Every structure is written in structure tokens, then in C-alpha cells.
A and B are shown apart, each in its own frame.
Chain A
Amino acid sequence: MRPSSEIITKEVERTIRTPLNIARIREDFPILAQRVHGKPLVYLDNAATSQKPQAVIDSLARYYSSQNANIHRGVHTLSELATYEYEKARGKIKLFLNASDSREIIFVRGATEGINLVAQSYGKKFIKAGDEIIISAMEHHSNIVPWQLLCEQVGSVLRVIPMNDDGELLMDEYDKLLNSKTKFVSIVYLSNSLGTINPVKDIITRAHKRGIPVLVDGAQSTSHLLVDVQDLDCDFYVFSGHKVFGPTGIGALYGKTALLESMPPYQGGGDMISSVTFEKTTYNALPYKFEAGTPNIAGVIALGVAIDYVRAIGMDAIAAHERELVNYATERLSATDGIRIIGTAKEKASVVSFVMENIHAHDIGTIVDREGIAIRTGHHCTQPVMKRFGIPATARASFAFYNTTHEIDELVKALVKVKEIFGA
């Protein structure tokens, strides 16, 4: 039997033209052809979740209709095929992140579970009472709460790198926070509410000078920036598949082999052991030690297809197109009276957050929705960021490679309508 994802890769490659033909690419995403409230859907909520190309949707159906079997345990043909496809997807993610070894890729439910795994496995073993963990002022709640839980459990202390009014981290303050008690740094690469690209390589270098490991939260960066974990030299990297055009409920944790080897299992169960007696259990090797129970096999395979799709377009082409979108949106929104952009860092990608004078973000969200435009409104799971800027919420347009400047024009038109309704 021929492994199907190779066929898909070729299909995918055939569909992509260089330079980016957005109209052609949009045809790969069936949901984008929809109308919402009678208007063509303008999907600008990609930071929350991205849409899925047909190849990803098909791969889920193909898996369940012709490959479904449990992995790593059967000698029958289907089980071998499912195992092959599952492990091949691991290899694709290894290549995508440029990890040095496939065993460094652990499948998890998403970035959130990846961070929790590191906090509970690495953190509980190596972080003690009085030790300090550094995060930043622009973390998503998922890179705050797991560390708070750990702090409660072991008595460690959470320290926060502050940011300036543009939404850029204050590196001098970071230097001041680093001290002999610092045992871990966990930092977001690309802020989901401000769009700031943090200087993670620099942050990692400064931590490594003191022998402190660093986790990079790649929930947003993975679909917008070329990520090379070896070049960054990060110790851990997490991302969610559904934000990279794959299905929900699947993601990956990258960890350096030596660190992963030193960590105890996160969960116990099948697949993560090599032998079990009632007296003693020997744990399986990497990466299986961290993959207890039957995993999301279909999700892993479909994520592999999503990665094929993204790699076929090319991260450089994606980043260039999205830079254009962010610049255009910034220009158009700044030129509209009564709109203020929140997050004006020099290095930005994919996200434009804004507030409107005397109009609450939720009112904006409801009104533009009736024009078929999906944006996120609220605190974006970054309440400390909202507090820092003294606002209750923002409206956020977030882009993917399938978005167009025309869609940004539609957004601006809808925002003018918002102002009309409010007599502003």
C-alpha cells in the first residue's frame, strides 16, 4: 500500500504557484467561500484559529476510511500503516522546526498542554522553593497559569519582564531579573494580542550565559515566521496544530534530548512504558515516554499534511505577504479617525489590535460580524496586557497567508459603519 500523505504532498505542491497566487490558494480553503449574514466571509481571526485546506480535511477522512488502526502495537497491515503515517508526521515536524532528532518531537494536545508538561515534569523535578521563573508582561494566560500552579506546588516565585508603551520588552529589566535564583525562562515568540515579535534569540542567549533553560511559546509564531529551534537554541518550543492550518486537539512540544531524558513522565499509561510489573515499571524511550495512551493519530497525520501545505508555500513567502497585510492594515486603520492601534512595536507580525474612541470592542465585534467580518474582541486571554494599557479589551484583526488587502478595505468600511451607528 502506498503511504497516502506522499500523494497529498505532491497534490499540494501542484496547487501552489510562485509568487503567491492568493486567489488560487483561497480555493484550497472551502470555508472561505462561505457567506455570513449574506456577505462574503472575511476571516480575520487567525490568531484564534486558522482555517483548514481541503488536503487536511481529506486526510482526516482518508485516515478514518482506509487507515484507522492503533499504532505501535499491531503486526497487522493497518496498524503498521497507521504507525508509519504517524511517525512520518513526526519527521515532518522535526524538519519544519529544524530539530536535530525526531525523538525531540512530542505530540501533545496543543501549546497549552506542552507548557503544562514542561512545568509539571521539568519544573517539579528541578525548580525548588525560593527559585525564580521569568515570563514576560505579554504572555497568554497559558504561559502564566501553568507556572503559577508550579509556584504554588513548589514555592517558587514568578518574575515578569515589563514592556514599554509600544509593547516591546524592556531587555535591561530582563537583565536585572536574571540572577542566581532564576531557574527557568518561558517566553512568547509572537504576542497574540499585540503582534510583537520578541527577540527570543537574544533572550535565550542571555539566559544560557547563566545556564538557565528557556521555553519558547510558539503558538502564534509557528504559522507566521520561519522557526529554527537549533538556531534559536531554545530548550523547549511548543505550538498548536490548529493555528498552523491543522486540526484542533493536536500540537507538539520540542525539547532538547538531554533535557527530555532527564525529565520524569508527565502522564502514565500505555505506550509510555517498556515493561510493567506490579513492583516496577520501566519507562519507554523518547519520545514515547511522554505519549501515554492512544494519541490523536488522525490529528497527527493531518497536522503533517498541514505542515506539507505550509512548507510548499514557503514560510518566507508567507511572512512577506503577511508583512504587506500588517503594513496595509496599520496604514489604513491609523488613517481612520477615532481608531488607535495597541501594540506598535518595531518588529511585528500578523496581528493588528485596536480600540475605537468611546466604542467598546464588543460593540465593534457585533457590528462588523453583520458585515461578514470575523474579528476577535476582548482581552485575548492576556488580561495583564489589557491592564498594562489601561483598556478593558481590544478589537483584533489577525491575518493568514490567504487574506487580502481587499479584506482589510472591507474591515475599514465596516469600522466606518460602526462609527456612523455610534454617531462618532
Chain B
Amino acid sequence: MSSGLNDLYQQLILDHNKSPRNFRKIEKATHNAEGYNPLCGDHFTVFIEMDGDVIKDVSFQGSGCAISKASASMMTTAVKGTKKEEAEKLFEKFRSVVTRDIHKEVDDLEELGCLGALAGVAEFPARIKCASLAWHALHSALNSNGAVVSTENANAH
């Protein structure tokens, strides 16, 4: 496998794809939002249960490619128990890492922890939307307009 592919399809990502974490519906969800990529059909719903300012529980359901599904799964493990602002900050960092040259983002990469596994996506421009989809849905759910987030909206990168 070429090094680029090795970076993209790491064991961690393949594992999250095969056995996604928090892959369920939260019946008592206080917030939820859909993320949809009309170009490839990736479609996820993110559920959140807020306790004050804290994301008490977060989950997702839906279908998509390995990158989008693993990213959604890893996202839920990363933001569970964090405050809304922290989750939003993490989204910003994640976004900057997957959309830019990974070597310039070493600091961000360290802060991202296991989410950094998705940094390899930066080398595959066509797949950045896959990695970001669930995060856009999370952002929309947190800001609770509940609208379907499409990767083809103007601000969806």
C-alpha cells in the first residue's frame, strides 16, 4: 500500500468503520441534526443530550464511506463529556488539520489526540468532505437549528 493510503486507511480508522462507537439513537436527545453529502449519498444523523452546557451523551446513525463513518465515530468519543465550546474548538482544529498540510499543523495535531488519525485526509482533497460531514452535523445540532447540513452548502468545508 502506498504511504498516502496507509495514512488514510489506518487501522484505527478501519476499526471505527467496522465497529463504530456510539452508533445508536439517543431517545432523550435534546438536539439532533442531519449531515448529507448529495454527491456520494453519505447521510448521518447526530444525536446529542445536553446537560446544561455539557454534552452528556452523543451518538450517530446513518451510512457512508469508511472515512465519514470512522470520523463520525471518533468524533462522538472525542466530544462526549466536553462543554459545547470545547467541542466547537475541537471542530475548528480538526477542520484546519484535514484541510491543510499536516506538517504545518503539528501543534493542532497533538491536541487532536486520536482524531489526528484523520490528518491523512488532507492528502486526498476529494475526501475532506467525508471526514468533515459528521462534524458539520454536530455543529448544526449544537446550534440547534436542526436543519439538514449539506456538504454542498457554501460554508460546508
Chain A residues positioned under 8 Å from B126 (CB to CB): 362, 366
In the bound assembly, the distance between CA atoms of A106 and B38 in angstroms comes to 34
Complex-state Cα separation, A37 to B1, whole angstroms: 12
- Given A366-B124, A370-B4, A421-B1, answer yes or no on A360-B66 (Cβ-Cβ < 8 Å): yes
B42 at the interface (CB under 8 A from A): yes
CB pair A363 B66 closer than 8 Å: yes
Contact with B along A407-424 (1 / 0, CB 8 A): 000000000010001110
Nearest residue, chain B, Cβ from A421? B9
Interface of chain B, main secondary structure: mixed
- Is the beta-carbon distance between B40 and A393 smaller than 8 angstroms? yes
What is the minimal beta-carbon distance from A121 to any residue of chain B, in angstroms?
Answer: 30
A378 and B43 CA atoms in complex are apart in Å by 13
Interface residues of A, count at CB 8 A: 19
A378-B40 in contact given A421-B14, A422-B14, A423-B14 (Cβ < 8 Å):
yes
With A and B bound together, what is the CA distance between A326 and B14 in angstroms? 32
Contacts of B42 in A (CB 8 A): 360, 392
A85 to chain B, nearest CB (A): 39
Task: Select from chain B the residue with minimum beta-carbon distance to A37.
Answer: B2
Q: Is B63 part of the binding interface, using a Cβ–Cβ cutoff of 8 Å?
A: yes
In angstroms, Cα B63 to Cα A386, docked, is: 14
Residue A259, interface by CB 8 Å: no
- A360-B64, A422-B66 as given contacts; A392 in contact with B40, CB under 8 Å: yes
Are A370 and B5 within 8 A (Cβ)? Answer: yes
Provide the bound-state CA to CA distance between A392 and B39, in Å: 10
A317 CB-CB contact with B under 8 Å = no
Whole-angstrom distance between the Cβ of B46 and the nearest chain A Cβ? 18
Chain A at the B interface: mostly helix, strand, loop or mixed?
mixed
Task: Kindly provide the distance from the CB of A238 to the nearest chain B CB, expressed in whole angstroms.
Answer: 25
Known: A362-B65, A363-B66, A422-B66. A392 touches B2 (CB 8 A): no
Cβ-defined contact, A386 with B14, below 8 A: no
Residues of B within 8 A of A393 (CB): 40-41
Q: Complex formed: what's the CA distance from A10 to B2 in Å?
A: 45
CB <8 Å contact, B127 and A366: yes
A359 to B64, CA, bound (A): 9
Contacts of B9 in A (CB 8 A): 363, 367, 421-422
Find the A residue at minimum CB distance from B129: A362
Question: A423–B4 Cα gap in the complex (Å)?
Answer: 18
From the candidates B1, B18, B43, B130, name the one contacting A362 in the complex (CB within 8 A): B130
Assembled-state Cα–Cα distance A207/B64 (Å): 41
**When each residue 117-157 of chain B gets 1 if its CB lies under 8 Å from chain A and 0 otherwise, what string results?**
00000001011001000000000000000000000000000
Can you list 13 pairs linking A and B with CB atoms under 8 Å apart?
A: A361-B40, A362-B40, A362-B127, A363-B66, A366-B5, A370-B4, A378-B40, A379-B40, A392-B42, A392-B43, A421-B9, A421-B14, A422-B14
Would you list the 10 A-B pairs with minimal beta carbon distance, nearest first?
A: A392-B41, A360-B65, A362-B65, A363-B66, A370-B2, A363-B65, A421-B9, A362-B40, A370-B5, A393-B41
Given contacts A360-B42, A362-B130, A378-B41, 17 further A-B contacts (CB under 8 A): A37-B2, A360-B40, A360-B65, A362-B65, A362-B67, A362-B126, A363-B9, A363-B66, A366-B5, A366-B126, A378-B39, A379-B39, A392-B41, A393-B40, A421-B9, A422-B9, A422-B14
Query: A residues near B, CB below 8 A?
Result: 37, 359-363, 366-367, 370, 377-379, 386, 392-393, 417, 421-423
